[in-house]
């Protein structure tokens, strides 16, 4: 398992929020853990279709947020030192 940088010290909390959402989703659809993330993403696409959201835009936006939240340059004073530093 690879751990991404956590420059703000918040990614554990964010992961906990995602866990709560996935747990609720799995309970609602009686899904298994193996496919839960992909199934939730797929169903969010259906939700976007029915509620006037651009699913592809939301996916790109969410991925951009993830990249910012795991970029050590976001909060350099909390970033882990690079090799040789």
Q: What is the pLDDT of residues 42-85, one digit of tens each?
A: 999 999 999 999 999 999 999 999 999 999 887 666 545 555 44
Reported as a pLDDT band with limits 50, 70 and 90, residue 1 is low
| Contact between 72 and 80 (Cβ < 8 Å) | yes
Reported as a pLDDT band with limits 50, 70 and 90, residue 25 is very high
User: What is the pTM (predicted TM-score) of this model?
Assistant: 0.77
27 C-beta neighbours (distance < 10 Å), count: 9
pLDDT given for residue 77 in this prediction: 62
Residue ranges per domain, the chain?
Answer: 31-71
| Contact between 48 and 54 (Cβ < 8 Å) | yes
């Amino acid at each position: 398992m690879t751990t991404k940088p956590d420059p703000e010290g918040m990614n554990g909390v964010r992961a906990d929020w995602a866990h709560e959402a996935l747990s609720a989703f799995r309970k609602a659809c009686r899904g298994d853990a193996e496919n839960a993330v992909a199934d939730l993403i797929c169903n969010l696409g259906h939700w976007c279709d029915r509620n006037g959201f651009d699913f592809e835009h939301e996916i790109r936006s969410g991925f951009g947020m993830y990249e910012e939240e795991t970029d050590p340059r976001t909060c350099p004073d909390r970033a882990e030192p690079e090799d040789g530093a």
